[in-house]
Amino acid sequence: MINGGLQPGKCITIEGVINPQASRFVINLRHRSGIAFHYNPRFDDNFVVRNTLTLEKWGPEERSGGMPFYKGQTFQIIISCNPYHYNVFVNGIQAHTYNHRFTNLGEIDILEVSGDLSLIGLNV
């Protein structure tokens, strides 16, 4: 849960270890009826997909910006919520920016992390 929903200035920190045989993992920032921010590193394709799910339909995928993750790697991800976009930092380096497609930030109150990783820590 994200108490009070997201707002500009709020950061989410996720620490973990990527499985050595990883295919992908997913971080979703959700609201009641969809996914405001889908962050999906795909090792087989060597890119990170960013997207939004609204009314059960995915928007256009964003894939630029490279792949900052490695199989077997320990990582720290910080997702910083800004007024118009998210900044994603991986191990202290800005990796991606994603403009808000769902703008009712206060309704984003669910954090999901799943896939080929082991969580070490989570701070919202």
What does the pLDDT read at residue 1? Answer: 85
Neighbours of 77 (CB within 10 A): 20
What does the pLDDT read at residue 122? Answer: 97
What is the set of domains in the chain, with CATH numbers? 11-123 (2.60.120.200)
Chain CA centroid to CA 23, Å? 16
Give the pLDDT of the chain (124 residues) as one tens digit per residue. Answer: 899 999 999 999 999 999 999 999 999 999 999 999 999 999 999 999 999 999 999 999 999 999 999 999 999 999 999 999 999 999 999 999 999 999 999 999 999 999 999 999 999 9
Cα–Cα nearest to 95, from 31, 45, 41, 18:
41
CB hemisphere CA count around 82 (13 angstroms): 9
Distance CA 72, CA 18 (A): 5
